[in-house]
Chain A
Amino acid sequence: MPAEAVPFATVIDAAGRRLLAAINPAAAAAGLTPGMPLADAFSLLPGLATAAAEPAEDRAALRRLAEWCGRYSPWTAPDGADGVKIETTGSAHLWGGETELAADLMARLGRRRVACRIVIADTTGAAWALARFAPLGERAVILPAGEARTGLARLPIEALRLDPAAAQGLRRVGLKQVGDLYAMPRAALARRFGQGVVLRLDQVLGDLSEPLSPLGEAPIRRVRLSFVEPIADPADLACAAERLALDLVLRLAREGTGARRLDLAFHRVDGRVEHIVLGTARPSRDPHHLASLFRERLDTIDPGLGVEDMILAAFAVEPLGPEQIGFTGSTGGPHPNPPPPVGEGLGGGIAPLLDRVGNKLGLEALSRIEPRESHIPERASVRVPIDNSLSAHRGEREGTHRAGDGEGEVGEAEIPHRHPPHPVPLPPQAGGEGASGKVSHHFFRTNEKWHGHFNKPPRPIRLFAPPEPVEAFWLLPDDPPFRFTWRRLAHRVTRADGPERVAEEWWRAGGSPARDAIRDYYRVEDEDGRRFWLFRAGLAGHDDPPRWFIHGLFA
């Protein structure tokens, strides 16, 4: 007996009762329905095979399926417990039309033994209703544009995605089909059965828009490569990545933008989707550079039995002037960027390097040292992530005009640009040759604030954060220690300089200054000539004796 012919149901525990969660066609044929108590089901069908339902696993699987559907459109999302929404507007033509798209989807799902009912309609609500309540048979149904009203008229009232109480109320007054509601006055419906009924009706008929919130973020540009045969060889994957990069770059070039954040999705034959996500330090349109970034991360991808689709999506783009890349060559294809002259700085030269390092070690691994106006040593020189420091430079240059570039210029993308679930990240750097030249200039420019530091007593070359406590011995209240022990090593102080008093910056938030907030710093030299920066926290004459710390090392 084939597996499908055995009545089977999954069972879920609900408030102490065991209910059927899902059933297979054989069980449905025997008269079982989801939600039926298990005891009743056994009385109808003693031979019913059961298993415990795993809702979390089901949700995860549905999510994976929705992600897999990303090969058809970037706008996909799981719908309830048993559906997947796909926004095909703008992408159906890539498959030769809606019919072909639906056929391909059905065939692929069939190969993966996923039972499905596929409906393409004008509105999410109409597609939902038809997929669940219309007699479909084995074929996908495509509701022609503008026919939602007639197509849905004969469906039961539950097809409107109503809450059960409202549906029951409608049935009680004899409104059993969706079509029955068309003639009813809206105000009366809303009054008697709640605003939900009217809302759902309007959504189904397209009078009210229903935004689809996609799984994850909607990309700005997307290119896809499907393979006749699944590929698994890393060399093939790298090659495909390069082709996709080239394809994407050509599109970006037409729009005068460069990619800042990319996602390369590998759709495996078993339906799983693996991703490589990467960011670039500045907008890039160099296919070889992008491909090399992906190539380095390919070892994180498990191709499984093979990859049948690869989708490269740009999630953040920024304007990038056309002068910077050599697209004018005779071959018609893009050339690799000529290596910029040494010294171009971040404007061109080292950005690829920063991308590579940032993508391997994490962008937070890259930082620069910048001066700040502060007396507190650890606040006077701070490490700034490389991205922020660039945007700070840009802010300096352009005044307050910092946000908005990303949003406005990508609105005309081929994919309808709706409300992105995440705000477009602040573009840290303007495009254009001139701008980047300035950035490189800024990048090299000595910050004048360091000069202020020269007027202070010498500062260490290494600073410990936080300061490390040392055990120190000293004679008079304002003396430097004559001996101290740091990391279990005793140092005898032979020379010292100080104190330099550093007090907590009282204008900063933080309330009353603790007595530890006053530090007396000493440069001390031990008998070997090593130099340390020690400080005494707290004042002598209080109940607790002052404590000593080492804060840094001198040259």
Chain B
Amino acid sequence: MALRERIRRIERPTATAYGATPFGLAAIDRVLPGGGLARGALHEILGAGGDEEDGGLAAAFAAGILARLAMAADGIVLWCLLRPDLYGSGLAALGLDPARLVLVRARRDTEILWAMEEGLRAPGIAAVVGEIGALDPVASRRLQLAAEHSGVTALVLRRWRSGAAAQRERNRPNAAATRWRIAALPSQPPPIASSARRGQPPLTLSPARGEPPPISSPARGGGSGWGLGIGQPRWRVELLRCRGGEPACWAVEVIDATGSLSLVARLADRPDARLAAAKIRSTEFRHAG
């Protein structure tokens, strides 16, 4: 057994005792110990920019993970939140069946932590999600221990009420096994052919009117600033911290209706991924300082 592996086992005897859920994307799974997101552990997901308040991308990234977890464990996902603004169709499009979801609406962060811990200790639960602003080391440690004990995966989506709160809380340390940050990247407009091939018109009919107006006529196609529509969403997925692994960064494209990810070629082939990781580290350091 490699020495590194032995040390890891001594340090974290149960870290991957429950196996890992792969992302299905070799580039990401390679970096993570166990070849995927460790089950029975606490993972933290952050948004970036304005999304730190809205939690859209963090929820979408979590939904993809949860879809695989819930399928594998055939269980319920307990999603604890303050603002119940999750939309079923959007979740379903990312592969997470809303039928597997139980929402817990709490009034305070402490209630969310309590409900998450209860969920982690209960049978029949595939994963527990909590949208939380303040997560101190003790609370996160409790969640991590509960997850380790039961083998249920816990995700914490960091969501703050204001940019100031985000600034204050974002870099405080906690006991999560991994820490992710998801940021949006500008998408590439889809080739016309692709939407035609899918048999889906780029513009859809509305019940009220037969013929919707085209969004951009050829006359003002390029000039007015927007292109021919919107491509598949692209994210920058950063693994900021990973117990037993190295930080890394990827650019991915989300594949519709399944929620699986594909690597964006241009960024994936970047020769020095370590450089990117080092850059992130240094920005983290700057934030902390």
**A residues whose Cβ falls under 8 Å from a Cβ of B:** 339-346, 348-350, 352-354, 356-357, 360-361, 365-371, 375, 377, 380-381, 383, 386, 443-447, 450, 453-454, 456-465, 475, 478-480, 482, 487, 489, 493-503, 518, 523-525, 527-531, 552-555
Contact = CB atoms under 8 A, between A and B. Distances in A.
Contact of B93 (A356, A380, A458, A518): A458
Given A343-B74, A381-B87, A444-B74, A553 B124 contact: no
Given A369-B86, A529-B185, A495 B230 contact: yes
B25 interface: no
Interface string B172-185: 00000000000111
B227 A454 contact: no
23 contacts: A340-B124, A343-B124, A350-B122, A357-B119, A361-B104, A366-B102, A367-B102, A368-B102, A369-B101, A380-B88, A444-B99, A447-B99, A453-B93, A459-B93, A461-B60, A461-B91, A462-B54, A462-B87, A495-B187, A499-B206, A499-B215, A503-B206, A518-B208
B84 A525 contact: no
A555 B97 contact: no
Interface centre among A349, A464, A482, A529 (most CB of B within 10 A): A529
Contacts of B94: 461, 555
Q: What are the 6 closest A-B residue pairs judged by CB atoms, nearest first?
A: A349-B124, A501-B206, A555-B60, A381-B88, A529-B184, A553-B56
B118 interface: yes
A555 B88 contact: no
Given A365-B106, A366-B102, A450-B89, A494 B206 contact: no
A369 B88 contact: yes
B194 interface: no
Interface in B226-250: 226-227, 229-231, 233-234
Interface residues of B, number: 75
Contacts of B197: none
A530 B51 contact: yes
B125 A495 contact: no
B73 interface: yes
Query: What DSSP secondary structure best describes chain A's contact surface?
Result: mixed
A352 B115 contact: no
Nearest to A499: B212
B92 A453 contact: yes
B19 interface: no
B193 to A, nearest CB: 17
A493 B203 CA distance: 18
Contacts of B73: 342-343
B122 A353 contact: yes
A461 B86 contact: yes
B76 to A, nearest CB: 5
A30 to B, nearest CB: 60
A365 B105 contact: yes
B89 A494 contact: no
Contacts of B56: 460-462, 530-531, 553-555
A494 B225 contact: yes
Contacts of B78: 353
A501 B212 contact: yes
Contacts of B106: 361, 365
A345 B124 contact: yes
A199 to B, nearest CB: 53
B98 A368 contact: yes
Q: Which of B50, B90, B122 has the most A CB atoms < 10 Å from its CB?
A: B90
B260 to A, nearest CB: 12
B17 interface: no
A528 B186 contact: yes
A43 B90 CA distance: 85
B49 A530 contact: yes
Given A482-B225, A500-B204, 9 more contacts: A369-B88, A381-B87, A445-B99, A450-B92, A454-B92, A454-B93, A496-B215, A499-B212, A500-B203
Which residue among A369, A371, A443 has the maximum number of chain B CB atoms within 10 Å of its CB? Answer: A369
Interface in B182-228: 183-187, 189, 202-204, 206-209, 212-213, 215, 224-227
B98 A381 contact: yes
Interface string B58-83: 01100100000000011110100000
B212 A370 contact: no
A300 to B, nearest CB: 15
Contact of B59 (A354, A375, A454, A462): A462
Contact of A361 (B92, B99, B115, B126): B115
Contact of B213 (A354, A463, A487, A499): A499
B143 interface: no
Contacts of B55: 462
B57 interface: yes
A201 B27 CA distance: 91
Contacts of B101: 368-369
Contacts of B75: 342-343, 345, 349
